[in-house]
Structure 1
Amino acid sequence: MTKLRESDAVQRRESGRSGDFLEVLARAIRVMEAMGAGASAMSISDVARLTDLPKPSVRRVLHTLRDLGYAESVGRAFRLTPKVVRLAASFLGANGHARILQEACDRLSEQTGQSSLVAVLDGDQILVIAYALPESLMAPFRGIGSRIPAIASAAGRVLMAALAPGDLAALMARIEQSSALRDLGGDMAQVKAQIHAAREQGYSTSDDEYVIGWRTFACPLYRYDGELFGAISLNCKKRADLDEVTFQNLAAQCAQAASDLQPLLV
């Protein structure tokens, strides 16, 4: 077994984690998250650098994932396999959420002729867990599993607006310290104002923001007991017939879809 580095041992002690904390599982999760963040195939050195884990630990994790079918070898590199979707299915399928959410997106897209999605907040990004796109549209979205910067999306601002003040402040501090805001060419004061507006209005919109040529409406998606589940978003292709009245009508249909879903999310 790879010996725990002194720096890791100190971090573990300072984290206040219980004695039941399983380091090897935490490392495996870090490796899988790193591999799912971009490149299709990564070397042991690449993964070790991204995760700040020792190469021997990364090698053991990758070979274990390969033996279990969650990763495969590509020359001297590794990449995740579709089997990892089973892990997400455990989250979505526990109460039939995957089917319910996908059917709702399909129905909304069919009614409006636009793209729709459901997303949850995952750190400083939103994670798409249901997605529908009419055959008549072409969109630059990758569908289920896609990640989008929360501050650059209407759905992300809706979800951030629902955070407790302390949690939101901590998240904003992390975003400000990262390169995300700079990479997007954003302004922190403007982002905060947009999040405040989303909280006051109960929805958020975007126009030519993360993807040029699209206008988006997003609103919160609540469980049957009033607890926030995620956000539902309608992404409208900008064209001559998408005037303000039409957009507001489409937004109302999205909001109605959220209302219809609430009693089904148990």
Structure 2
Amino acid sequence: MPPSAERNPTPQGAQAAPAAPGPAASGGVQSLERAFGLLERMADAGGEVGLSELSATSGLPLPTIHRLMRTLVSCGYVRQQPNRRYALGPRLIRLGESAARLLGTWARPSLARLVEETGETANMALLDGDEVVYVAQVPSRHSMRMFTEVGRRVLPHSTGVGKALLSHTPDEQVRALLARTGMPAATEKTITTPEAFLDALAQVRESGYATDDNEQEIGVRCIAVSVPDSPTAAAISISGPAGRVTDAATDKFVPLLHEVAADLAQALARSGEGQ
């Protein structure tokens, strides 16, 4: 959790790869399903892949993949690199930013409930490529509170939400992500080795929640849980001064976080059905 303390209140505005695609669902378009599937596999691989990698993970024949990628390149959603590998294209940014804003809007009532019942700042974050991006926040009403700008991007290894987001990702994928991002220390308590981070993820799976204990900023503690069955990897958290977000407070806050996360998952599902 990467907040900074604010003394004067300010108004606040890896999962396993799916099976090879079969026939399109009733009323669907198979080529669209395949194209979006390839984009998701590119994102899972860090945003850049070769055709042979896509063929191995998708089960599609190379000629089909090549045809779909040519179409995505012509539309600006994929670009071909000088090394002939394919990377996610800049046109996806506008779509992602708009979707993230909507997701943040849908999440605010749930975050407001967390603030009402815990007194601490509540956040929602997504895993976007190798980074954590904050898409919604409702601030605490305390004069000493935590503030994280919506849209801020951070590395996952030093944040509670990052641990929650990666807790069910296979170890080899986590290691690959950490190799790409590095593990810079934000404080003396930041986890800076892959082995220690994987141990922390095992603790998250065992306990059902993640913590950032002075790892992003000294004096700040964060408690986070993943949002179950979210259409994209998402987590919610509460954060505050370590003197308030104590072990005793954690015991009370964790069940509430899980309850709110489950309610939010249902709200997101309803929003998807309405599209």
Taking structure 2 as the reference length, the TM-score comes to 0.59
Please say which of residues 194-203 and 213-222 is displaced more in the overlay. Answer: 194-203
- Which 5+ residue runs of structure 2 have no aligned equivalent? 1-48, 52-65, 83-89, 270-275
Q: Structure 2 residue aligned with 1:257, among 249, 257, 260?
A: 260
Classify 1:137/1:258 alpha carbon distance in 2 versus 1 (closer, same or farther; 3 Å): farther
Superposition pairs of residues 1-266 of structure 1, within 5 angstroms: 15-16=50-51, 18-22=69-73, 25=76, 88-93=97-102, 97-139=103-145, 141-175=147-181, 180-184=182-186, 186-223=192-229, 229-239=233-243, 242-266=245-269
Map Cα deviations across residues 183-234 of structure 1 (whole Å, 9 max, x no partner): 44622221121122222322111211102211111111023xx766411111
Aligned to 1:32: none
Q: Distance in 2 between matches of 1:229 and 1:216?
A: 18
Over the aligned positions, Cα root-mean-square deviation in angstroms equals: 3.2
- State the one-letter code of the partner of 1:120: L
**Amino acid aligned to 1:19:** R
Cα deviation digits, residues 4-25 of structure 1 (max 9, x gap):
xxxxxxxxxx832622242783
How many positions carry a matched residue from both structures?
192
Q: Which amino acid aligns with 2:183?
A: L
CA deviations over 1:135-174 (Å, ceiling 9, x no partner): 3244453321111210001110111122244433422332
Residue matched to 1:38: none
8 Å contact from structure 1 (residues 114, 137) kept in 2: no
Greater percentage in helix:
1
Please give the alpha-carbon distance, in whole angstroms, between the structure 1 residues aligned to 2:203 and 2:177.
Answer: 18
Q: Unaligned stretches of 5+ in structure 1?
A: 1-13, 30-51, 53-60, 66-83
For 1:91 and 1:228, how far apart are their aligned partners in 2?
10
The CA distance in 2 between the partners of 1:154 and 1:15, in whole Å, is: 33
